[in-house]
Amino acid sequence: MSENQPTARPMGRTQWQRIGLMAVALLALWEFFRLFSSILTPFVVAGGIAYFLDPAVSQLERIGLRRAAGALLVLAAAGLCVALFILLLYPVIADQARILITNLPAYIGTVQKDLAHLITHLQERLGPGTVSAKLRDLATNQAGTIVSFAETAITRIIGSGFAVVNILTLLVITPIVTFYFLRDWPSIIRHVDSWLPRPYETVIRAQALEVNRILAAWIRGQAICCLILALVYAVGLTLVGLDLGLIVGLAAGLLSFIPYVGTILGGLTAILLSLSQHPGWHGVIMVLLVFACGQGLNDYVIQPRFLGDRVGLPAVWVIFALFAGGAAFGFLGIMLAVPVTATLGVIARFWLRRYMHSPLYLDNHAS
């Protein structure tokens, strides 16, 4: 081996102690989330809100306002915006939700008739043996069962994930915890920084800054993208005359933090509602145009402008992380999925770079 080639030093006792301590800490953290996931939701929500609002509070602090006063001012402004949004849109959303619940059996019946007519038309065009009786029964008679299953699944998800997030936590606990997070954010960062092992503090701090960069770009950028898409879909579907266009468009836009899921689910729902409301293909074409314009605007204008290439989170990994987090910890896992994925991605890239510069990768002579 040449003199300038890096050599691997054997791991000492202290290094093994650090690795063991880290493994124990990760195991304890996993068990903590598993045991207390049902009560941690408002605290994690408060932490996410504080992370989102911290730049505004820091800016107010830089211009001379005390941090506590700045946190209170920013939190009050955010609460006022949410209250105005609820006051303005809640009556319309509640009215459209009542229409959906009242007309759901009629929608199901119309979809069944349309599917039966479509299958009959296919049989006439392609021959009577093309479409089997089982497929026809599934399409025409089991639509109600499928809708009931989807309704039950949604009810279970909402019941298990949001059971603890009741009116008390939303109106009292979450804002209070958010205020303390915003007020004490620099102190929290300083305390965590003081706990870092001194030999590796520079490396760990650099990786933490990278995680923060990715999270800030993804969370704040994705929030802006979802709000713009919700506005585009809601206005577009309302303008084309869809009865439930507002609620479907808002839901599709807000679900767009899962790549393409909001657009696909919203598009399918809008198409079924359009077929129920206006038999024929004109309404379907208008709905498809709305979602095509929204998705194209998102892909070529919104995301390049607000996300760009700053986010090292591929869409496939985001989808997998959200579903894995939901399966492991419910709604809490969904909220923690992206931060954990961003952290693991930064750590993986760091160790890959270390590996690419290590003798394990560079040495041509096997010992």
Both tokens of residue 126?
């392609």
Q: How far apart are CA 354 and CA 367, in angstroms?
A: 20
pTM: 0.67
In a domain, 152, yes or no: no
Q: Domain for residue 226, yes or no?
A: yes
Q: Say what the pLDDT of residue 127 is.
A: 61
Which residue's entry shows tokens 């836009």? 253
User: Quick one: pLDDT at residue 336?
Assistant: 83
Q: What is the mean pLDDT of each run of 10 residues along the chain (367 residues)?
A: 47 71 83 79 86 90 92 92 81 74 69 69 63 56 54 49 53 86 90 83 87 82 86 90 85 83 85 76 86 86 68 74 82 81 85 84 64
DSSP letters for 228-295: HHHHHHHHHHHHTT-TTHHHHHHHHHHGGGSTTHHHHHHHHHHHHHHHHHS-SSHHHHHHHHHHHHHH
Number of domains forming the structure of the chain: 1
Judge whether 106 lies within some domain. Answer: no
49 within some domain: no
Tell whether 267 is covered by a domain. Answer: yes
**Residue 231 is assigned to a structural domain of this protein:** yes
Let me know the angle formed at the C-alpha of 106 by 102 and 110, rounded to the nearest 5 degrees.
155
Q: What is the pLDDT of residues 27-52, one digit of tens each?
A: 888 888 878 777 787 888 888 889 88
Q: What is the pLDDT of residue 200?
A: 80
Cβ count near 309 (within 10 Å): 7
Collect all residues with Cβ–Cβ distance below 8 Å to 288 and sequence separation of at least 6: 267, 271
> In this predicted structure, what is the pLDDT of residue 163?
45
262, 232 contact by CB (below 8 A): no
**Dihedral pair phi/psi, residue 139, rounded to 5°:** -75, -35
Task: Identify whether 281 is part of a domain.
Answer: yes
Cα separations (Å) of 96 from 93, 100, 234, 242, 249? 5, 6, 12, 11, 12
Q: What pLDDT is stored for residue 133 in this prediction? A: 57
Closest of 303, 234, 304, 242 to residue 274, by C-alpha: 242
> In which domain, by residue range, is 343 found?
203-359
Using CA of residue 24, residue 26, residue 29, residue 33, what is the dihedral sign? Answer: negative
- The answer to whether position 270 is within a domain reads yes
Per residue in 234-273, pLDDT tens?
Answer: 999 989 888 788 888 888 988 887 777 788 888 888 888 8
The dihedral formed by the CA atoms of 106, 108, 109 and 111, expressed in degrees to the nearest 10:
120
What pLDDT is attached to residue 158?
45
Q: Which residue has the tokens 């009292």?
A: 172
Position 107 scores a pLDDT of 67
